């Protein structure tokens, strides 16, 4: 969430709170207000969600005039498939995710979900259809049960526990003296990066959206935690249209489609194998990463 909200130029105080990984409800609403740059058109219908086919058609967008970030982006993600987005830092990967959630309106072109233009439906219905698992999950100063239940208003205790099991965090919660009533945050239980990510996964399971946006953490979790989380994520992705801002080789290797963003456009697209054979930007990126990994291993 912090990753997606970063560009909203938050007040310093709110920003620092997010960086600590905790946030209370009041601050959350301030934050949402800060981002209220888009409006529903009067009488806009709700998005009629089908299988979750996502399409970008010649999308243009910039935060400032004269500095386009996306410059005619075309993207087609068939329902239920996974599209990994890679590219150099600043290429616009997170921007693409923000536009899908409609934090901003596009300057040109359109984004369609199941054939409906995002700009023409209500934001509430759009956001109900999309789940986000961010790099850094923001937790509220409340109980762990509340933090998971936040994924869907009115969720029952049984549904919350079911989601926690799906995200493989139920055992951890049940070991706490107060179980689901254990407080987290500033004065409560401190969760590790991996545990916070599981809370985000549990929220997403409760929400059960047809479309998923994953923003993979760049910072390394230990390899066992990472392996466990990947397995859990795979279960969440199954049957959903997934767009993943990918930093890990394991993610891109299994993606149905990879797009390489560069200069505001899709520079290359294909599967991992196709892109390696192409011997272009993607192949170069992975050769560099492989070399870095080897250096890191050698240094250990």
Question: Applying CB under 6 A, does 14 fall inside the site for ligand ATP?
Answer: no
Q: Which is nearer to ligand ATP, 132 or 160 (CB)?
A: 132
Those residues whose C-beta lies under 8 Å from the C-beta of residue 158, and which sit 6 or more positions away, are: none
Q: Which is nearer to ligand ATP, 93 or 272 (CB)?
A: 93
Helices 157-166/223-237 angle, 10° precision: 120
Query: What gap in Å lies between CA 230 and CA 197, rounded to an integer?
Result: 11
Question: Which two tokens mark 7?
Answer: 């560009």
Q: Cβ 152 to ligand ATP, closest distance in Å?
A: 28
Question: Applying CB under 6 A, does 263 fall inside the site for ligand ATP?
Answer: no
Q: Which is nearer to ligand ATP, 118 or 164 (CB)?
A: 118
Q: Which is nearer to ligand ATP, 161 or 217 (CB)?
A: 217
Question: Applying CB under 6 A, does 69 fall inside the site for ligand ATP?
Answer: yes
Q: Cβ 88 to ligand ATP, closest distance in Å?
A: 7
Question: Which two tokens mark 79?
Answer: 């329902």
How many helices (DSSP H) and strands (DSSP E) are in the chain? 13, 12
Question: Applying CB under 6 A, does 102 fall inside the site for ligand ATP?
Answer: no
Question: Which two tokens mark 272?
Answer: 């991992």
Q: Which is nearer to ligand ATP, 75 or 91 (CB)?
A: 91
Query: What gap in Å lies between CA 137 and CA 158, rounded to an integer?
Result: 23
Q: Of residues 26, 33, 89, 153, which one binds ligand ATP by CB under 6 A?
A: 89
Q: Which is nearer to ligand ATP, 49 or 118 (CB)?
A: 118
Residue 27 to residues 11, 140, 147, Cα–Cα distance (Å): 10, 10, 15
Q: Cβ 243 to ligand ATP, closest distance in Å?
A: 12
Whether the Cβ atoms of residue 155 and residue 210 lie closer than 8 Å to each other: no
Binding mask 49-68 for ligand ATP (x = CB under 6 A): --------------xx----
Residue 221 to residues 26, 87, 227, 233, Cα–Cα distance (Å): 31, 22, 9, 14
Q: What is the DSSP letter of 64?
A: B
Q: Cβ 251 to ligand ATP, closest distance in Å?
A: 14
HSE-CB at 134 with a 13 A cutoff on CA atoms is: 16
Using only C-alpha atoms, what is the Rg of the chain? Answer: 19
Q: Cβ 91 to ligand ATP, closest distance in Å?
A: 4
Question: Applying CB under 6 A, does 31 fall inside the site for ligand ATP?
Answer: no
DSSP codes, 171-219: HHHHTSTTGGG-BBSTTSBPPPHHHHHHHHHHHHHHH--SEEEEE--SS
Question: Which two tokens mark 203?
Answer: 């929220």
Q: Of residues 81, 94, 147, 197, which one binds ligand ATP by CB under 6 A?
A: 94
Question: Applying CB under 6 A, does 38 fall inside the site for ligand ATP?
Answer: no
Q: Of residues 7, 78, 109, 280, which one binds ligand ATP by CB under 6 A?
A: 7
Identify residues 175-214 at the interface with ligand ATP (CB under 6 A).
none
Q: Which stretch binds ligand ATP (CB under 6 A): 72-80, 84-92, 178-186, 232-240?
A: 84-92
Q: Which is nearer to ligand ATP, 75 or 169 (CB)?
A: 75
Residues interacting with ligand ATP, by CB under 6 A? 7, 63-64, 69, 87, 89-95
């Amino acid at each position: 969430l912090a990753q997606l909200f970063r560009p909203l130029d938050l007040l310093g105080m709110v920003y620092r709170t997010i960086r600590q990984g905790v946030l209370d409800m009041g601050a959350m609403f301030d934050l949402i207000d800060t981002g209220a740059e888009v409006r529903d058109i009067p009488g806009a219908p709700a998005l009629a969600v089908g299988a979750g086919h996502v399409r970008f058609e010649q999308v243009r967008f910039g935060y400032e005039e004269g500095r386009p970030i996306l410059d005619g982006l075309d993207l087609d993600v068939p329902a239920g498939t996974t599209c990994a987005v890679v590219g150099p830092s600043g290429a616009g990967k997170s921007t693409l995710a923000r536009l899908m959630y409609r934090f901003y309106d596009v300057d040109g072109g359109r984004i369609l979900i199941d054939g409906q233009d995002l700009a023409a439906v209500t934001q509430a219905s759009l956001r109900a259809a999309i789940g986000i698992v961010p790099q850094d999950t923001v937790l509220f100063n409340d109980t762990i049960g509340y933090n998971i239940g936040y994924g869907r208003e009115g969720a029952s205790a049984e549904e919350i526990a079911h989601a926690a099991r799906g995200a493989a965090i139920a055992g951890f919660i049940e070991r706490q003296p107060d179980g689901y009533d254990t407080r987290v945050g500033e004065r409560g239980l401190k969760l590790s990066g991996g545990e916070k990510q599981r809370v985000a996964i549990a929220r997403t399971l409760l929400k059960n959206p047809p479309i998923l946006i994953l923003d993979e953490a760049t910072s390394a979790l230990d390899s066992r935690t990472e392996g466990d989380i990947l397995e859990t994520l795979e279960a969440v992705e199954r049957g959903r249209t997934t767009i993943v801002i990918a930093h890990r080789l394991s993610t891109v290797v299994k993606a149905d489609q990879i797009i390489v963003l560069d200069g505001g456009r899709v520079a290359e697209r294909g599967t991992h194998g196709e892109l390696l054979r192409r011997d272009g930007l993607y192949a170069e990126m992975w050769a560099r990463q492989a070399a870095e990994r080897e250096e890191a291993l050698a240094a250990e």
